[in-house]
Amino acid sequence: MELFLIPCLVLSSLVLHVGSQVQDANICTTDGWKKMCVRQLVIALQGETVTLPCQFTYDDALVIKERKLIISRHQTQQGDVILYDSDTNYRKEEFKNRLQPIGDPKEGNGSVKISDLRLEDEGTYTFQFEYYELKWGVIWNYVSFQTKMGKGTKLQVHVRPNIRRVWKEFDKSGTPDLLKCEAEAKPEPNISWLNPQGRLVDSGDLLNHREPNGLITKISSLNIMGEEQDGVYICMVENKYAKVQKHLIVEGPQKSNNTAHSSNKSNLWFIVGGVAAAIIPLVLLLVVYKWRCRSSREGNVARAEAILQELEDDVGNTYLAPGKDRCEESEIPLYETLQIENISMLPIPPSAESETNVSQDDMPRGSGMEEVVD
């Protein structure tokens, strides 16, 4: 009998490099005429996409149907946890939209890719094919074939260097004496310093902490006491994947004091400007309000004086017309409008006749008055 292998399967003792991804040689699990080969070690960078190859082959005389792929990952406390099932398209919650098949399990290709790689994705992945195999030409026998213990794919997630922070520490006089730089990476990063003249200077590591997932955090300290301090210091962090840097500006005590004084003056002017900006509009509003009140009062007084003046001018030529509530101009003098008609005079006593006798000659002419005789 002859075995057939899918052409893309290449067995090699060499380590393969695919971009930033490293793939070790294939490791195979065999059972009679069946064989399943995977990568023994795959290393990729956090945030990238990684491919986990898997190929299943068998004797061409075997009759197999309904093949499906199950991928599990071994976890210390939970054992093997299923991440993917090709038959039901099941994916574990943290792998939804990230784990995708790139082959057809029904054709024996169980390769998958994982995108947006995380440190938590590290671990040993087990591949398992399940199918029905025809026995003696009459019986369909259920078969489960998986990678043996120690022959799964070990996935390692590495991390490019990252500088978390850089800072200065001061002595009692306020002079910078220590520069510190905190960084993380996987594998372990190397931290170095450049002084303002661009020369490498000696520094010491204060912390070198390794997380359970292999991520290493380091803090480097640079002592600058007794040196020409002014200038830019650069913290450089690198591992085999990348190199990053951040800088710190260091000033001597005099410049620091000048800077603080300038900063205080700037703050003072800022406060004064803010207060002025708040008060000036209020003052303007008050001035406008008072001006409008004064103008209103002056207008009222002027109108009142004009009315009084009109009343004084018209008082000699006005009378109160009966049945009206206001004064109107008279077109004729008041005395011409009054007429005395039918005035009845009582008899005058004889004793007073001489005193009250009025001759016709003394009466005003045209007065309209007549003597009434009993």
Task: Summarize pLDDT for 203-260 with one digit per residue, the tens.
Answer: 888 888 999 889 999 999 998 876 667 889 999 999 999 999 999 998 865 544 555 4
Helices (H), 64-156: none
Phi then psi dihedrals of residue 274, to 5 deg? -65, -40
The CATH fold of domain 16-151: Immunoglobulin-like (2.60.40)
Q: Cα–Cα distances in Å, from 97 out to 91, 92, 114, 160, 332?
A: 9, 10, 9, 24, 111
pLDDT tens profile 67-95: 899 999 988 777 789 999 999 999 999 99
Q: Which two tokens stand for residue 345?
A: 């005079």
pLDDT tens profile 28-75: 999 888 899 999 999 999 999 999 999 999 887 788 888 899 999 988
Query: Residues 264, 268, 269, CA angle at the centre, nearest 5°?
Result: 120
Are 16 and 23 in contact by the 8 Å Cβ rule? The answer is yes
- Compute the distance between CA of residue 179 and CA of residue 203 in angstroms, rounded to an integer: 9
- Is the pLDDT at 17 greater than 50? The verdict is no
Domain ranges of the chain: 16-151, 159-254
- Compute the distance between CA of residue 180 and CA of residue 193 in angstroms, rounded to an integer: 10
Does this chain's domain 16-151 share its CATH topology with 159-254?
yes
Q: pTM of the entire structure? A: 0.60
- The number of beta carbons lying within 10 Å of the beta carbon of residue 152 is 26
- Give the chain's radius of gyration (CA, Å): 57
- Compute the distance between CA of residue 58 and CA of residue 36 in angstroms, rounded to an integer: 9
Q: What is the CATH number of domain 159-254?
A: 2.60.40.10
